[in-house]
Amino acid sequence: MKSRYLLTALAALAAVAPPAPAETEAQYYAALVDGKKVGHAVMSRTATKQEVTHQVESLLEIRRAGQVAKMRQRETTVETPDGKPLRFSSDQDLGIMSMKVEGTVAKGMMTLKITSAGQTKTVTRNWPKGALLPEGLALLTRKMGLKEGTTYAARMFEPSLLQVLEAKAHVGPKKKADLLGRVVELTEIKTTTTVPTVGMTITSYSYVNDEYDALKTVIPVAGMKVEMIACSRAFALSKNDPADFLEKMLVAAPAALKDLPGAESVTYHLSPKGKAELKVPALDGQAVRAGKAGTVLVTVRRVAAPQGVAMPYKGTDKAARAALEPNRFLQSDRKEVIALARKAAGDAKDAARAAKRIRDFVHTYVHKKDFSIGYASAVEVAKSREGDCSEHAVLAAALCRAVGIPAEMVIGVVYVPLKDRAPVFGAHAWYRVFLDGKWVQMDAALPDGWGLGHLALATGSGNIDDFFQLLGTLGQFSITQAEVEKKKP
């Protein structure tokens, strides 16, 4: 699981909380995960008679397998004093990858200039109806007030995601909030934020003073407690204590699963924690059904790759057609990706054979297995040849698209037998390809490829919003049983 997604969640969810500060001076925040300081954010607001500018700069440090990944983000929005959007920008530095989005809004349209992997692309889109930037949200919040029981909805445009987040706020009572040892009485506002593209909702709790400054925001995500707490500049910029996200992304296995390679199928019993509602996708090779007492039964079996499938794909399946398109992370139209795809596929005319060659090629091509990368696009991976599971999946999916094989990202957990401890399932990313009407899952990161130890929790095209489903599901269930069905003799 990429810590990058947590950074985006922090930025996106902080945006729909009541804004801070109300003056031009910068307000500093410490970012904590389960009580450990892992980063900071600096927020400022500057107003003139013509424009109001909000700026947020954040740093997040996460430890994975002894390596520290540093992710930086800077977001600037400019509006009129009455909250009409004018301009915005988002700069992201994710290790070997950086991405910048600049947008201008006029007459119901927005013009976007997106720079990634050394290339800039300009596109024009409709500005989402009713979408607000921070000043517009601040005005709405002040209009609604802080009376207990007040509820209201807002549509917040998030520049880093380039989409609208739907937010519903409920003003609660005044509560005592601990601001790093300083206890003050603040109004609690519960905000339920929905990412429409994936239908995922995340709940956050903000604690605001009478001037509407959010001094503390708590976001339960992926089984962890994430906090943004107002503090002094010295503390915010002090040394971080990066949390080990690999440990936090593990799910205990019910028992050692020794017979997976020779098994016909495996049925996993997923039990929700607390009141969590589990949403597990049904895919080709992954059947999902309801069990007793809220449990979800997921049966994983192999899907044979159909042979003799022509490429490039010219069918009419909408999902497959969409899985051929290039995007910000799967740049299958870039010349360096196309050249690498042709090299990987060789003279293969059969789509299944080409997909297998691409998988094998990417597994060895990404020769530096590096956990310090925040998140990288296909072009960055093609150049650097380093990364972990998601970098393997991003590159492999892009190469498949480049030769005309529909491909999507898959995010979930995979069975990991460990030498020094009980076996677990760890967060993982892989991909799937569309062959003759079937989606076949593949894994370029693991030596043995995809297997029955893979449990998919979300699919998508590598864009950040695809991973919100995983953020809301991981940490919300335990695997209580695994029924292995052996192959019939």
Tens place of pLDDT per residue across the chain (489 aa): 333 444 444 444 444 444 545 556 789 999 998 888 989 999 999 999 999 999 999 988 877 666 777 788 899 999 999 999 999 999 887 655 677 899 999 999 999 998 876 788 899 999 999 999 999 999 999 999 999 999 999 999 988 888 888 999 999 999 999 999 999 999 999 998 887 766 677 888 999 999 998 999 998 877 778 899 999 999 999 999 887 666 667 899 999 998 888 899 999 999 998 777 788 999 999 999 999 888 999 999 999 999 999 999 999 999 999 999 999 889 999 999 999 999 999 999 999 999 999 999 999 999 876 555 556 789 989 998 988 888 899 999 999 999 999 999 999 999 988 777 889 998 899 999 999 999 999 999 999 999 999 999 989 888 766 666 666 677 789 999 999 998 776
Question: How distant, in Å, are the alpha carbons of 60, 250, 316, 388, 395 from that of 477?
Answer: 26, 11, 37, 25, 30
Give the span between the Cα atoms of 12 and 265, in whole angstroms.
39
Q: Which residue has the tokens 């967060």?
A: 427
Q: Give the pLDDT of residue 469.
A: 65
Closest of 481, 325, 387, 416 to residue 4, by C-alpha: 387
What is the pLDDT, as a whole number, of residue 17? 47
In whole angstroms, give the CA distance from residue 478 to residue 480.
6
Predicted pLDDT of residue 146: 96
CA 36 centroid distance within chain: 21
Q: Say how many C-beta atoms besides its own lie within 10 A of residue 81's C-beta.
A: 13
Give the pTM: 0.77
Q: How far apart are CA 188 and CA 133, in angstroms?
A: 22
* Cα separation of the two ends of the chain: 38
CA distances from 117 to 329, 350, 376, 380, 401 (A): 10, 31, 9, 6, 18
Q: For 246, how many CA atoms within 13 A lie in the half-sphere containing its CB?
A: 13
The predicted pLDDT at position 407 comes to: 98
**What is 250-486's CATH number?**
3.10.620.30
The letter for the amino acid at 376 is A
Q: How many CA atoms lie within 13 A of 113 on its CB side?
A: 9
Containing 391, the helix (H) or strand (E) segment is helix 389-402
d(CA 457, CA 444): 18
CA distance 192 to 201: 6
Please check whether residue 267 is in contact with residue 299, taking contact to mean a CB–CB distance below 8 angstroms: yes
| Angle subtended at Cα 30 by Cα 133 and Cα 191, rounded to the nearest 5 degrees | 45
Which pLDDT does position 230 carry in this prediction?
Answer: 93
> What does the domain layout of the chain look like in residue ranges?
3-247, 250-486
One DSSP character per residue, 434-482 reads EETTEEEEE-SSSTT-S-TTEEEEEEESS-GGGGHHHHHHTTSEEEEEE
SS3 content of the chain, % helix, strand, coil (to 5): 20, 45, 35
pLDDT at res. 97? 61
Which positions ≥6 away from 84 have C-beta within 8 Å?
136
